Amino acid sequence: MIDDRQYIVTPEGVPLVLTLAGPIPRAVAYLIDFCIRLVVYLVAALFLGPLGGVGMGLLLILFFLLEWGYPILFEVLRHGQTPGKKALHLTVVKEDATPVDLNASLIRNLLRTADLFPTFYLAGLITMLIDRRFRRLGDLAAGTLVVHVTPPPDSTPHNGDTPLAPDWAVTISDRQLLLNFLERSPQLSSGRRAELAQLAFPELPPDAAAQRLRHVALYMQGAAQGSVQGPAEGKAP
């Protein structure tokens, strides 16, 4: 059975769950990008076509840039997202969940010629259906994955979400762990958040521990951004 999730443990010991993108959303994203490239090419043809041979030469250069430079440029500079992938909430990452770099993007996109064989991306589709992580040939060679992403939640305090100063002497390591928890908590299940929170507040019930840890993490985020002035009083456990 194919599992549509990739489980990764970060160097900080925080588990991440990546939701892998299957062939259908990836195909829709590709069609969106194809339509964008086609519109740009047709508009350029209206202006460059009357220039004769020079115009045709410029159109060929533009075709090359749109076909090969378009995906690489967006993936490297826009966090692994072309406009089509962004519309479908997809992104390209490396297998360890780090951002895709220039080398990986070059490899995965240049190998689209192999994925196209013999026509209509048939080789790539078959490879994606066989591979348990939905990787096409370019992904296999580049060590990349295409995953679903969700918009980052608003981490600013809301009513009932008041920052709470820690009631212990915070070390640099503690501060980093709290900020990492706040950043990665949307990707964790509620049970996993509670489990991690009880390591800090074992005397509290799971939900209360998770809420308190979030409040302390919000305080540390405000302190890091300079929005917390003066020490706040925290309740002793």
Which residue ranges make up each domain of the chain? Answer: 5-148, 172-225
* pLDDT given at position 226: 56
* pLDDT given at position 202: 83
Q: What is the pLDDT of residues 164-202, one digit of tens each?
A: 888 888 888 888 888 888 888 777 777 778 888 888 888
Confidence of residue 14 (pLDDT cuts 50, 70, 90): low
* pLDDT given at position 90: 94
Using DSSP, how many helices (H) and how many strands (E) does the chain show? 11, 4
CA dist 97 and 75 (Å) reads 14
Other residues' Cβ atoms within 10 Å of the Cβ of residue 172: 7
Computed from CA positions of residues 168, 173, 179, 180, in that sequence, does the dihedral angle turn out positive or negative?
A: negative
Q: For residues 44-57, give the mean pLDDT.
A: 92
Q: What is the pLDDT of residues 21-36, one digit of tens each?
A: 999 999 999 999 999 9
Asked if residues 134 and 22 have their Cβ atoms less than 8 Å apart, the reply is yes
Write b or e for each residue in 107-130: b if 16 or more Cβ atoms lie within 10 A of its Cβ, otherwise e: bbbebbeebeeeeebebbeebbee
Confidence of residue 224 (pLDDT cuts 50, 70, 90): low
* pLDDT given at position 235: 39
Confidence of residue 234 (pLDDT cuts 50, 70, 90): very low
Confidence of residue 231 (pLDDT cuts 50, 70, 90): very low
Backbone angles phi, psi at 37, to 5 degrees: -65, -40
Confidence of residue 3 (pLDDT cuts 50, 70, 90): low
- Where is pLDDT greater, at 227 or 126? 126
* pLDDT given at position 229: 43
Is residue 22 left, alpha or beta, with left meaning phi > 0 and alpha meaning psi from -120 to 50? beta
- Where is pLDDT greater, at 138 or 99? 138
Dihedral of CA atoms 91, 97, 100, 101 in degrees, nearest 10, equals 170
